Amino acid sequence: MGAVEEVIGALEDGRKVAVCQVAPSVRVSIGEEFGMPPGTVATERLVGALRHAGFGRVFDTSTAADIVTIEEGAELLRRMKDNERLPLLTSCCSASVLYVENNFPELLGHFCTVKSPQQSMGSLVKTYCARKMRVKRRDIYSVSIMPCIVKKLEARRPEMEFNGVKHVDAVLTTKEAAELLKRRGLSLADAPESGFDSLMGKASGSGQLFGTTGGVTEALLRFVSWKLDGGNARIDFPEVRGSGGLRDVRVKAGGREIRIAVVDGLNNLKDILSNADRFGSYDMIEIMTCPGGCIGGSGQPAYTPQGLLARRDALYGIDATAKARTAMDNPAVQAVYRNYLLEPGSGVSQSILHLKRICLKCK
């Protein structure tokens, strides 16, 4: 049975609460499957259509990206202070994790320990949200709409569960989500608009940037600058934006220089991982396997170079006009920490959001 049939079956069965999350890059690409121009921001129409399709709750993966930013930023600062396992590799691209496991297993310990935004949201849905909804975690059917097929493999990994319950039960790519809506007789062109579920609230602009290359870095730098520079913190870091393989960036924060590489595309990933001297010269490396990041993922509608730029610009437009630009300013994220996680790296956070990377070849 294909993923679309499986999800339709679960929606029609109705015995479980169907919950859905939407990755940041999907909102600026799925409109193309309904005849809209590249870069159309279809967030509210998509959420409205998903509710009509039968999902009881619709969450924004970008809110989890905000939480990942805070967890990852705290880990980066701690590792820089202790000079421990630098550079930190960002962990949200599941294909890059697979690539390192298979080709550079000795570097696995460099990955940040926080799970990807997909898995972090899936985990929060079946813990924090389940408690708020007064539903047993086994009675939730959790679906994610993601930009690539590798996210399906990520959801099947044995470590992506809590107390024997998978974080995410089914993954649809952007194209499959469009197919599901069409098979339910829905179109984004005339879908009623709706907002993301208030239980996890709205994401900040930073969380939306996870959909494009450089976005994870910019979100992290906003956190680091806020932590180290207080009232003089920077919000915009145009030096990490763009595309084209590898951006070598130096940023000053808290009186020290942070050495960063932003890498997209598999060949560039291979180049930087196989050059030990170069690899070791950074504090942090953002790695995204797809050209342009998740906006160019394998599960996205086909695109032209101009179309990819339009998707990227749309994400920057959402960020520029967001009420909260940083993860720390996001009231929804503040509430999750106040009511559940308590602080970055806390015991709760370690048990539901972090993992130990296992070297499959070293066992």
Q: Name the residues that contact ligand SF4, by CB under 6 A.
A: 93-95, 147-148, 150, 288-290, 293-294, 297
Nearest 5°: phi and psi at 143? -115, 140
Q: Which residue has the tokens 């870095």?
A: 217
Q: How far is the CB of 256 from ligand SF4 (least distance, A)?
A: 29
Does residue 151 contact residue 115 with C-beta atoms inside 8 Å?
A: no
Q: How far is the CB of 203 from ligand SF4 (least distance, A)?
A: 17
Q: How far is the CB of 340 from ligand SF4 (least distance, A)?
A: 26
Q: How far is the CB of 257 from ligand SF4 (least distance, A)?
A: 27
Q: Residue 205 or residue 297: which is nearer to ligand SF4 going by CB?
A: 297
Does residue 312 contact residue 292 with C-beta atoms inside 8 Å?
A: yes
**Which residue's beta carbon is nearest to the bound ligand SF4?**
297
Q: Residue 211 or residue 345: which is nearer to ligand SF4 going by CB?
A: 211
| Angstrom distance (rounded) from CA 291 to CA 303 | 11
Q: What is the SS3 string spanning 18-78? A: EEEEECHHHHHCHHHHHCCCCCCCCHHHHHHHHHHHCCCEEEEHHHHHHHHHHHHHHHHHH
Nearest 5°: phi and psi at 110? -80, -20
Q: Residue 75 or residue 264: which is nearer to ligand SF4 going by CB?
A: 264
Q: Residue 7 or residue 23: which is nearer to ligand SF4 going by CB?
A: 23
Does residue 221 contact residue 253 with C-beta atoms inside 8 Å?
A: yes
| Angstrom distance (rounded) from CA 261 to CA 278 | 10
Q: How far is the CB of 45 from ligand SF4 (least distance, A)?
A: 22
Q: Residue 31 or residue 293: which is nearer to ligand SF4 going by CB?
A: 293
Within a 10 A sphere around the Cβ of 285, how many other Cβ atoms?
Answer: 24
Q: Residue 31 or residue 297: which is nearer to ligand SF4 going by CB?
A: 297
Q: How far is the CB of 192 from ligand SF4 (least distance, A)?
A: 29
| Angstrom distance (rounded) from CA 139 to CA 231 | 45
Q: How far is the CB of 138 from ligand SF4 (least distance, A)?
A: 28
